[in-house]
Structure 1
Amino acid sequence: MKKVLYRHLFSKVLGLTFLLFSSSFYAQEEAEVATDAAAEQTADAVGGDPVKGKQLFNQNCAACHSLDRKMTGPALANVETRLMEDEGLDKEWIYEWIKNSPAVISSGDAYANKIYAEYNQAAMTPFPTLSNEDIDDILAYTAAPPSTPAATATATTAGGEATGSSSGISNEMILGALALVFGLLVVMLVLVNKTLRRIAEANGVVLEKEKEKRLPLWKAFVQNQFLVLVSVVFLLLASAYFAYGWMMQIGVDQGYAPVQPIHFSHKIHAGDNNIDCKYCHSSARVSKTSGIPSLNVCMNCHKSIYEYTGNPEGPSAEDLAAGHTNEFYTGEIKKLYKAVGWDEENQSYTGETQPVEWVRIHQLPDFAYFNHSQHVSVAGVECQTCHGPVEEMEVVEQFAPLTMGWCINCHRETNVKVQGNAYYEAIHEELSKKYGVEKLTAAMMGGLECGKCHY
């Protein structure tokens, strides 16, 4: 019987594995020591403590900045070096910018206004409580090299001669070594299998070959537990995605255009006849709600307008297709008379009224607070901003989604009309003194606070 060599091969593989892991751990320790030394050299060069700077960065800067990628603000890795070399700015400029960026912007500084324009005209939050030493520590942290196993561990003397070097082993090399070990194990198992088969054949053991039999596709799928698991996870994630999308549309009625008991054409009233929205919805100027106009408001005009004669050019093809003829609109006026109890022949009220069950179109949740007078009278927001071009709507529909994100974006982007508004002029004056604000938005006045809309 032949000698079996797989035991010797197994011992060699174990020995090689131990050697590779020992080398990698030793290289990692050397890399960590080299990284600490590099961090100390960086701290001496920039005059700050990167350890304290990291803590200050996480407390004050991490919400808007990252070291290696753009967030709400720019990436801050090596920001001091970039500002000095690329923009010609000194550290005093950095101190002033961090402590009071609106003042630097209002002073007309070219680079400050460039950053202000690039990042949606939103000035950085001032940090007047940070001292120059705190800012030096933050700059030291942004200038410190990343703590990775591949960091260079080469040190030089004051005269420029090398005193020692250690390249270390990168993660890719470690993964390659592990892959090599895995490959050797596979080869070893194959050799062991062949050796055992030869031993069995030498001893007269007959090995039965498995008969090839193709299973049906569905049975092969069921027997493969991995494919079943992956399919189940995929179906669960897909179901959760579609369920989330469906639930997020609950209460969002954008495009909702119900049929009203009495047809009212905003296109004719607000469009053709140029009737101001606030003539009918007068409570929008002084109240939380815009209100449904009373039928008496309609009768202010329709006591005299008892039929619809239409445009001199005649009804459009679209109106004819929808059945909106002169006779149709005249019939709707008769419905109005019946609801208010108006006797057209005697030109008097009969006192026999009928309620009109109008269908509400715009509906906010009960937990959301919205005040029409605050937006219409104080802020000067036009009705079309939220309700769309109602002067073009034959049948009014919900134009905007009226979601929280939609409202927040409006508060962030819309400039408040300060001219001719003493209330906002006073606020703008105070904010200009404090932060140097040129334009005023609802967000600058606390319009993003939860308690403004949820109470």
Structure 2
Amino acid sequence: MKKVPYLHPFSKILGVTVLFFLLISTSIYAQDEASAEASPEQTEAAAETDGDPAAGKTLFNQNCAACHALDRKMTGPALANVEARLAEDEGLDREWLYSWIKNSPGMIASGDAYANKIYNEYNQAAMTAFPTLSNTDIDNILAYTAAPPKKPAVAATSEAAPGAAGGSGSGVSNNVILGALALVFALLVVMLVLVNRTLKRIAEANGVVFVEEEAVKRKPLWKAFVDNQFLVLVSVIVLLLGSAYFAYGWMMQVGIDQGYEPIQPIHYSHRIHAGENKIECKYCHSSARVSKHSGIPSLNVCMNCHKSIYQVSEETLAEGKQEYGVDYNQEIKKLYAAVGWDEENQRYTGNTKPVEWVRIHNLPDFVYFNHSQHVTVAGVQCQECHGPIEEMEIVSQHSPLTMGWCINCHRETNVKIEGNEYYEKIHDELSKKYGVEKLTAAQMGGLECGKCHY
């Protein structure tokens, strides 16, 4: 019998090459990881100050951020590099800043020229005095306002790359490593093809003949199904019953918009406003206390806060982009455009634009529902009908708002009698009629057609 080598010589060469590339790529990757962990982060040195910028940021946010920003004019002027600008333009030193921050009204009353200039420029509204801030605290705030802005991480990475080759790191990028691994996998595929051919040659040399089995002819599945009349009958019955079930379910959902979650022209996060900031629902929807409708809040209500809040924190901004794909700062700018607010000069321009809000909760025209009767008289919380609104990023219709849903609530909910003079007389009469101490809304007429239908 003819002796055939198990592997082609070229296959052996490929195997050695694959092993070599695996060892090289692994060592390069490990060296690159080790150098990345060992090398310090390359950042530009901050300007020398005699304060702590980190502590100054906290103090700035607590005391100054309501009226000042670093890079733009708000209720007061921008404070970036304020000490250097005052020293260069006005010849004022840090001692003047100590006096101004601790007692600005006193500085104005004393006739200080620059103090009165600022006072007149900003509508003759004196800055709040901060006598509790020490000189050290002010030094920290000034250090924060003088700190240079951080460079983006991408720029720092690109600057550090050229110098990496001269240091202890390998200077090999991840793209090179991925390319080497891709080459290794390609060589493995070639190697497997060659091994397959070699094994076939060995089998043929030993007299092995590969015979393909003849396919067994079977009856097509559809023909077998048609020939079985009982199976056809059962299938037709199942299909008819299933179709009737789904058709009935679909028709029963007509007019029910539970889960409806439209996109609004200005993104408003109830999760941030009602949840994180604990703003009461009735602060914005004030008409729910006294009116049939809860009402759409006027944009002037929004501007009560957003005259000063023109951007969100970096953490909130990053969360909005990653989790919800929303830039909260851009949504605030949409609000400014709608009300005609000039950020730079802090005034209304009069160029307003109506916002076309999309209604979410919409009852049929023949249904009567009064918010004030439920909110003020009955003391029903907003969440009982609208769900956990304080957790919703985008508001959706939480409840089905069907007739059956309302009736079940009237049957199960006891009316709050204690301290509610509105129900005293009717409660005395109905409690004797039904012989109970607690009355449900249904027992007080909550199931009468005329109560909810015109």
Normalising by structure 2, we get a TM-score of 0.47
